[in-house]
Amino acid sequence: MRTPSLVLVSLIFSLAALVLPSGAATAQTGYPIANAAPLTRSPLYTAGRLPGASCAERPVKAGSVVSVKSYLTPLVKCLDAAWTAQFARARLPFAKPRVTFITKPQRMCGSNWGKDVQAIYCNTDRRIVLMLDRDVVGDPGDLYLLDVLAHEYGHHVQNVAGMWRALDRLPSRNKAEFYEQTRRHELQAECLAGAFIGSVWPSLDRDAGDWKELLDADRRSGDESTGVRDHGKGRNIANWLNRGFKAASPSACNTWIAGSSMVA
């Protein structure tokens, strides 16, 4: 969880205004991130494709929490194996997250469970919590659950790689900049989910229609539906998921150097 840190750098603002052509001073709509390693420059970006481990999905029975858990547990193991190997290649230390499944809202990470929240990642105790509510248990057969799990795992990757901490320390001049940074962080987690799914895709018994269905679900899930500008527009969420998927590598997931429209 981030809290806004509104740092006013009026001196830099006025200097920037001096060198801009007249009329352009108010044209700035984005907030570039310059030289904020490990956000902009992480060894993860240059460590190549994820290892492409074999990761078969077990059959899953709709309506059964036990079945959904035994469907997800081997997928957690696949994520552990893939990211352990990737961090080793990047010469970064890694530790697996804890993963907890719950079926009813409960207090987690020191907060009450939010309405319509499917999953969270607690960065302080490195734990993924997935809500197996009636909706997902009733219809667990598409790629949605795997995407949710891989996205939260993406946050764990950001945390262990030091990106989470770097984001917490990143100053923002106003709310718009704060939200843009939050979107870069969220869209990166979705891209990392895509990279993992792309890397194990040959071993999943899925077809192009399944993938298109997930992209469509992402398009429907954007900030347009929540009214809060913290995750990105649906088309951008789908775009970053697909970029990661096609590259099967975090190399596609440097949202920190992307133009503002890509992270809108």
CB of residue 147 to Zn ion, shortest distance in Å: 11
Q: Which residues contact 144 (CB under 8 A, 6 or more apart)?
A: 136, 214, 217
Cβ-contact 221, 234 below 8 angstroms: yes
Distance between first and last Cα of the chain:
20
Contacts of 227 (CB under 8 A, 6+ apart): none
Sign of torsion over alpha carbons 148, 151, 153, 155: negative
Nearer to Zn ion, 189 or 192 (CB): 189
Q: Which is nearer to Zn ion, 82 or 193 (CB)?
A: 193
Q: How far is the CB of 105 from Zn ion (least distance, A)?
A: 18
CB of 156 to Zn ion, least distance (A): 11
Identity of the residue, 126 or 173, whose beta carbon is nearer to Zn ion in the bound complex: 126
| CB closer to Zn ion, 66 vs 195 | 195
Residues that bind Zn ion in the complex, under the rule CB under 5 A: 186, 189
What is the closest distance, in whole angstroms, from the C-beta atom of residue 121 to Zn ion in the complex? 7
The nearest distance, CB 184 to Zn ion, in angstroms, is: 12
Give the residue with the Cβ less far from Zn ion, 86 or 221: 221
DSSP string, 212-253: HHHHHHHHHTSHHHHS-TTS--HHHHHHHHHHHHHHTSGGG-
Q: Is 180 helix (H, G, I), strand (E, B) or coil?
A: helix
